[in-house]
Structure 1
Amino acid sequence: MPEIVGYHAHVYFDADTQDTAKQICEEAARLFPVAMGHMHTRRVGPHPRWSCQLGFAADAFAQVIPWLMLNRQGLTIFTHPETGQHLEDHRDRAIWMGEMLDLNLSMFDKAGS
């Protein structure tokens, strides 16, 4: 079984919800040991919407995820573990808060997962 070394939570937003997403991400980074990524105002990687990544260690999961559940303000959040098996982490091991969206998983071929 692979080891979970961390998590990525991707907060999805659009032009109307960008300020809300930024507020949520900045607050999570202030409250927890979370690395806030860029506010991508275009699709990046497998993600079907604009997003901001929150990266955190496995031992922060129990604090970060409940907080996001209660404070997501209606935004969709996609969370996956980091095991080095990228396809499986995004496809089989993910947690969705809000709307489940289709990811573009073609970038994760079997050889690179």
Structure 2
Amino acid sequence: MFDLEIGELHQKNVGPHTLWSFSVTFDSERFTVLLAWLDNFRGDLSILIHALTGDDVNDHTKYTYWIGTPVPLDLSRLP
């Protein structure tokens, strides 16, 4: 429906994420439509949306948007 890149389902903690996760990569042109769709269909899931600037700390702190209840991140796992 959105022609997105879907990442692997991580059934373990990966990077700073303290729960299982998977990634969906999209560009800024799809942001508004995808955000509305995620908000409508996420159920009780918490969704972290963050930038991919190459600076993992800032991408997971400054450049984030949560849909649902934020989940604590373990930033000590980042370089």
Correspondences of 1:52-91 after superposition (within 5 Å): 52-91=22-61
What is the aligned-residue RMSD (CA, Å)? 1.3
- Residue of structure 1 aligned with 2:69, choices 66, 76, 99: 99
- Name whichever structure is richer in helix by fraction: 1
Cα pair 2:16 2:77 within 8 Å, conserved: yes
1:9-60 deviation per Cα after TM superposition (whole angstroms, max 9, x unaligned)? xxxxxxxxxxxxxxxxxxxxxx102111111111111111001111111221
- Name whichever structure is richer in strand by fraction: 1
Equivalence for 1:10: none
**Aligned-partner Cα distance in 2 for 1:108–1:58:** 25
| Post-superposition offset of 1:78 | 0.7
Answer with 1 or 2: which has the greater Rg.
1
Cα pair 2:53 2:59 within 8 Å, conserved: yes
**Aligned-partner Cα distance in 2 for 1:97–1:107:** 23
Identity %: 33
Cα pair 1:35 1:55 within 8 Å, conserved: yes
Correspondences of 1:1-113 after superposition (within 5 Å): 31-109=1-79
**Aligned-partner Cα distance in 2 for 1:82–1:58:** 12
Q: Unaligned 5+ residue runs, structure 1?
A: 1-30
Q: Secondary structure at the match of 2:13?
A: coil
How many residue pairs get aligned? The number is 79
**Aligned-partner Cα distance in 2 for 1:88–1:57:** 18
